[in-house]
Amino acid sequence: MKLTRSRNGMIGGVAAGIARAINVDVTLVRIAFILISIFAGSGLLVYLILWAVIPREEGGSIAEDGFDKARIWYDDRKNQGPKGPNYDI
């Protein structure tokens, strides 16, 4: 099964998506995130990174959306030429 974030998760759907992909109860995955947060201190950081990188069920991830917006912004700036944007009023 493909790893995607679940739409019916508690916060970002990361734990529910991982649980569905590895076929375990979502509570076990949530407890694992809590234990990693308490003992290693990096559980929240790992969760946030996975939230940004794991694609939604509908397709696309937050990181992909951000990169697309940045690419469009850069291409618009590059196509304006050396004189910069035209602010004629």
Q: For residue 70, give both structure tokens.
A: 């940045």
Residue 20 confidence (pLDDT) above 70: yes
* Burial track 67-86 (b if 16+ CB lie within 10 A, e otherwise): eeeeeeeeeeeeeeeeeeee
Q: Tell me the pLDDT tens digit for each residue of 53-89.
A: 878 777 777 788 888 888 888 888 877 666 666 666 6
pTM of the model: 0.54
Residue 5: strand pairing partners = 56
Domain residue spans of the chain: 14-78
